[in-house]
């Protein structure tokens, strides 16, 4: 008697296969387009309702699908937000440890320079005014040395998000978002005075960089960033390192910040 050949695809992977099929359909359709009812899709794909529902839950989590119950309901396409993409990447990176400030900056430098090169050409008055307010707020609050480290650092996170938006390049906004969202400034060693000095120099460097971008002078902006990059690279000498440990207080890159701190 011939041995029964095992199925090419195990039954437990049915929902995964259905998710792949539906995902491909979703990505070629318009956002919020009607895909069909639960029964229609199950029949079209050729699977049971439980398998379809399991696949649908995966796609809901990925923010690719909206399920509306009742009359006029059904399955509708959706598009994930940039914040979702950043969150997914950060979840992966959260288990990794950035080797050093220098390693981080080697990746950040070309991205930031490309972003600021485009940002100095920005014609969006709302974004330009937002940067102007950021600079003014920074000049009005010169002493940030008494603030918690993560609070001071949040200003740097916000500035990078703003410059990425000013670049009008969605890839730069995404990649810089992933990069800066993952970074945490942690106190490792060094005297208390060193902490105060770093907070003060970080604040001054951040505002000088923002002012250079606001001047719309590319060379000036690039020069200001290179000085800032050199400063960040020097922090380990004072006991500050970038790490892969995530700080929930920072969250994702903020789209708005009422006060620059």
pLDDT band per the 50, 70, 90 thresholds, residue 89: confident
| Side-chain half-sphere CA neighbours of 7 within 13 A | 6
CB within 8 Å of 203: residues ≥ 6 apart: 138, 142, 144, 152, 155
Predicted TM-score (pTM) of this structure: 0.69
CATH class of the region 83-243: mainly alpha
Least-confidence region, from 30-44, 104-118, 236-250: 236-250
Angstrom distance (rounded) from CA 114 to CA 136: 25
Residue 222 has pLDDT above 70, yes or no: yes
- Three-state DSSP class for 248? coil
pLDDT value of position 247: 44
Percent of the chain with pLDDT over 90: 49
Long-range CB pairs of 1-5, under 8 A, 24+ apart, other chains included: none
The angle, 0 to 180 degrees and rounded to 10, between the axes of the packed helices 149-166 and 101-119 is 40
Structure token pair of residue 197: 């000095």
Cβ–Cβ under 8 Å, residues 64 and 79: yes
Residue 27 has pLDDT above 80, yes or no: yes
Angstrom distance (rounded) from CA 215 to CA 23: 45
What spatial distance separates the first Cα and last Cα of the chain, rounded to whole Å?
78
pLDDT value of position 95: 67
In whole angstroms, how far apart are CA 142 and each of 51, 152, 205?
A: 59, 11, 11
Q: Where in the chain is the domain with CATH 1.10.10.10?
A: 11-77
Q: What is the pLDDT of residues 119-176, one digit of tens each?
A: 999 999 999 999 999 999 887 765 554 555 555 677 888 999 999 999 999 999 999 9
| Topology, domain 11-77 | Arc Repressor Mutant, subunit A (1.10.10)
Residue 107 has pLDDT above 60, yes or no: yes
| Side-chain half-sphere CA neighbours of 230 within 13 A | 7
Structure token pair of residue 83: 């914040």
**Which ranges constitute the DSSP H helices of the chain?**
14-28, 38-45, 49-61, 82-93, 101-119, 125-140, 149-166, 170-182, 192-214, 218-234
If one counts every other C-beta atom within 10 angstroms of the C-beta of residue 77, the result is 20
Q: What average pLDDT does this structure show over 191-207?
A: 76
Q: Where in the chain is the domain with CATH 1.20.120.530?
A: 83-243
CB within 8 Å of 68: residues ≥ 6 apart: 74, 76
């Amino acid at each position: 008697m011939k041995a029964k050949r095992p199925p090419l695809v195990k039954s437990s992977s049915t929902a995964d296969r259905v998710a792949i099929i539906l995902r491909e359909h979703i990505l070629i359709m318009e956002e919020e387009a009607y895909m069909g009812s639960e029964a229609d899709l199950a029949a079209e794909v050729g699977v049971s309702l439980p398998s379809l529902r399991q696949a649908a839950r995966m796609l809901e989590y990925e923010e690719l699908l909206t399920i509306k119950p009742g009359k006029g309901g059904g399955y509708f396409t959706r598009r994930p937000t940039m914040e979702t993409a950043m969150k997914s990447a950060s979840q992966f990176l959260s288990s990794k440890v950035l080797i050093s400030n220098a390693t981080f900056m080697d990746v950040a430098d070309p991205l930031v320079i490309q972003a600021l090169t485009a940002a100095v050409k920005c014609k969006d008055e709302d974004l330009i005014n937002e940067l102007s307010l950021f600079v003014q707020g920074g000049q009005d609050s010169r002493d940030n040395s008494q603030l918690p480290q993560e609070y001071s650092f949040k200003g740097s996170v916000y500035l990078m998000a703003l410059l990425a938006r000013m670049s009008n390049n969605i890839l730069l906004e995404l990649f810089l978002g992933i990069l800066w969202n993952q970074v945490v400034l942690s106190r490792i060693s060094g005297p208390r005075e060193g902490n105060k000095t770093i907070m003060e120099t970080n604040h001054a460097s951040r505002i000088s960089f923002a002012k250079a971008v606001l001047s719309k002078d590319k060379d000036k902006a690039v020069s200001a960033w290179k000085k800032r990059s050199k400063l960040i690279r020097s922090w380990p000498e004072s006991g500050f390192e970038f790490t892969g440990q995530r700080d929930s207080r920072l969250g994702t890159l903020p789209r708005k910040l009422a006060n620059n701190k």
